[in-house]
Amino acid sequence: MLLSLVALLAAATIAVPLTRRFGLGSVLGYLLAGVVIGPSVLGLVSDIEQIADISSLGVVMLLFLIGLELRPRRLWVMRQAVFGLGAAQVVLSGIVLAVVIHMAGVPWAGGIVLGAGMAMSSTAIVLPMLAESELLKSRAGRDGFAVLLFQDLAFIPLVALVPLLAERTLPDHVPWHDVARGATAVAVILVGGRFAVPPLIRAIGGARTPELFTTASLLIVAGTAYIAHLAGLSMSLGAFMAGVLLSESEYRHELQADIAPFEGLLLGFFFISVGMSADLGLAWAHPSVLAGATIVLLLAKAAICFGLALASRQSIPDAVRFSLALPQASEFSFVLFGAAVAVGALAPDQAAMATLVAATSMAATPVLFALSERFLVPRLEAEPAPDFDTIEAANAPVIICGFGRVGQIIGRVLRMHGINFTALERDPGQVDVVRRFGTKVYFGDPTRADLLRSAGAEQAKLLIVVLDDMEAVLRVVEVAKRNFPQLKVMARARNRRHAYLLMDRSVDGLVRETFYSSLKMAEESLTMLGISPEDAVRSVALFREYDEQNLRETHAIYRDEKQLIQSTQDAAEELMTLFEADQKEQTSGSGAGAVSSSGHLPA
């Protein structure tokens, strides 16, 4: 067992960084690691079933963490996507794949099982893949999660219906016993998660024993999964319900912190077990069948998902992401195939090939998704923008370019003084949000001279540029200085180099984005550490004055990196000398609260 553990950890440590370095994600690395150390190649690990049973807890923990992120109110808001888009994906994919498989010579019973199993998608692959690309909060990510959630719900009745496919006649009665058992398990999880678990967590959290809290966190996940398993339900569904019920708990973040490390490790082991289970001998014996079946599966599901995405009014880039995230089979597919073989609805050789196709599709998806993100989606996102707004009768003295978090605060202060302004924003989504709150903002690209002219740049007194894109800020400044020389320009600098570039363009004023908030935080930090408020204010003021002077002085040499580094080092020493001299002058003979000449806190 120890050798197996060493092999698992070593394979993951080597393979995952390699695949991530090539932009293919960690999932493919785990799958390849499993293939290499599995019985088909090196044979370092032989007890695949035991590892798969333990590592399946990784999927359970993943669903628990997802549940923690979902408030019940948000889940209610998603109901249309879950039961509309999710149901359409499962039904359409299942029917199309079942027909194709039957046409390939598989009897209808087996074709229906294989079609239903292949219609499912892997939660354990899709969600980490979207998270690595920071797409979970995008429209494609939200809809993808909704579909996966419906598939988890649909898996339960699918497994229950498999025995019917092996019988020639329908049963003459409803299995009320199984229905009651499932309903009881759901009720136990809901009642326990609502009334029993929160007081327990508060009691354990109050004990201030970290290891006991971690133990309780694992118990909640494993316990709810076990209750669901006893009732014949999906373990992931039980853990997901528990997570949703605890999403309002004050200990939600601590639960996430305790579960996340176990979830990441076990989920990685799960993918390794999938790679180890691949029958490479069967693949070598029938390579064309494997390749053809995998391609048909990926193309069919991707096409169906793409059509559903467009029907649900996703943008084309989001539709591509949605369709290429979900074309693979699922970890639940293996369970469904096994249940079908057990009752005689599916032949063992058909199940073996289907398992290999499912595993191959799971390995191919991260590659296809990564390639689309690198080459296809950027070209689709470069589509022509919608027509900009027509600005009528713009005669305000101030034009604000960029109406995000900074621009809105500036606008509110100007409005408080009764100063009119014209706001321009390049993001149509941000325009819609701001307009819903009753603020007039125009959709347009302020790097265009004609748009600035329409906004009243020839009559305005001040142009404030607070766009998020640094290059766009520089272009706006250049256009304004070239076409409207009488217009004063105030710009936001994202960092020190951006400030130098703005100074090159002779802006009338610039503000470094995080400079003043950082100074304020430093001042409050000093007071929390025992420095008197007066000394804290004076120290920060001294730093601010010196740093602004240094910014102006180093503007002439900022393109010479070697000279700039030397100047920065000299400035740090000079600042310390100035600080020590100021402290000696201010605190000579003073007592507590002063800072010593070494800069350390008083004893």
Identify the bridge partners of residue 463 per DSSP, sorted by sequence position.
399, 489
State residue 510 phi and psi, 5-degree precision. Answer: -140, 150
pLDDT at 319: 94
Instruction: Provide the mean pLDDT of the chain.
Output: 83
Task: Return the amino acid letter for 505.
Answer: R
pLDDT at 189: 87
pLDDT at 390: 62
Task: Return the amino acid letter for 475.
Answer: R
For residue 365, is pLDDT > 60? yes
Return the H-helix or E-strand segment holding 462: strand 462-465
Task: Return the amino acid letter for 512.
Answer: R
Predicted confidence (pLDDT) per residue in 286-323, tens digit: 999 999 999 999 999 999 999 999 999 899 999 999 99
The alpha carbon of 46 is separated from its chain's Cα centroid by a whole number of angstroms, namely 35
Predicted confidence (pLDDT) per residue in 173-197, tens digit: 556 677 788 788 888 888 888 888 8
Rounded distance between C-alpha atoms, residue 407 and residue 197, angstroms: 45
Reduced to 3 states, what is the DSSP secondary structure of residue 442? strand
**Is residue 33 a contact partner of residue 14, using CB atoms and an 8 Å limit?**
yes
What residues have CB less than 8 Å from 179, skipping those under 6 apart? none
What residues have CB less than 8 Å from 17, skipping those under 6 apart? 29
**Is residue 425 a contact partner of residue 487, using CB atoms and an 8 Å limit?**
no
What residues have CB less than 8 Å from 327, skipping those under 6 apart? 121, 297, 298, 299, 301, 302, 305, 361, 365, 368
**Helices and strands in the chain: count of H runs, count of E runs:** 28, 6
Rounded distance between C-alpha atoms, residue 120 and residue 107, angstroms: 20
For residue 415, is pLDDT > 60? yes
CB atoms within 10 A of CB 179: 12
The alpha carbon of 603 is separated from its chain's Cα centroid by a whole number of angstroms, namely 46
Kindly state the tokens that stand for 485: 């020389």
pLDDT at 113: 93
Predicted confidence (pLDDT) per residue in 72-131, tens digit: 676 677 888 889 999 999 999 999 999 999 999 999 999 999 999 999 998 878 988 888
The full DSSP string for 408-425 is HHHHHHHHHTT--EEEEE
**Is residue 524 a contact partner of residue 472, using CB atoms and an 8 Å limit?**
no
Which has the higher per-residue pLDDT, 399 or 26? 399
Cα angle 342, 344, 107 (rounded to 5 degrees) comes to: 135
Task: Pick the range with the lowest mean pLDDT from 61-70, 102-111, 456-465, 502-511.
Answer: 61-70
Q: Which residues of 438-462 are buried (b: 16+ CB within 10 A; e: fewer)?
A: eeebbbbbbbeeebbebbbbeebeb
pLDDT at 598: 36
What is the CATH code for 2-168+178-379? 1.20.1530.20
Q: How far, CA to CA in Å, does 315 sit from each of 261, 379, 443?
A: 35, 13, 19
Burial of 226 (0-12, 13-18, 19+ CB in 10 A): middle
Of 68, 59, 124, whose CA–CA distance to 255 is shortest? 68
Of 432, 293, 271, 458, whose CA–CA distance to 366 is shortest? 271
User: Which of the 8 DSSP states describes residue 345?
Assistant: S
> Taking residues 496-511, what's their average pLDDT?
90
pLDDT at 12: 87
CATH T-level topology, domain 394-513: Rossmann fold (3.40.50)
Rounded distance between C-alpha atoms, residue 27 and residue 58, angstroms: 13
In what side-by-side order are the strands of the sheet with 488-493? Answer: 442-443, 421-425, 398-401, 462-465, 488-493, 509-512
pLDDT at 565: 81
Q: How far, CA to CA in Å, does 151 sit from each of 93, 116, 179, 417, 603?
A: 12, 10, 19, 55, 62
Kindly state the tokens that stand for 165: 């496919």
Rounded distance between C-alpha atoms, residue 310 and residue 88, angstroms: 13
What is the pLDDT confidence band of residue 600, given thresholds at 50, 70 and 90? very low
User: Which of the 8 DSSP states describes residue 537?
Assistant: H
What residues have CB less than 8 Å from 249, skipping those under 6 apart? 198, 201, 255
Return the H-helix or E-strand segment holding 401: strand 398-401
Domain ranges of the chain: 2-168+178-379, 394-513, 516-595
Q: How far, CA to CA in Å, does 395 sit from each of 115, 147, 259, 568?
A: 64, 50, 57, 45
For residue 70, is pLDDT > 80? no
Which has the higher per-residue pLDDT, 518 or 235? 518
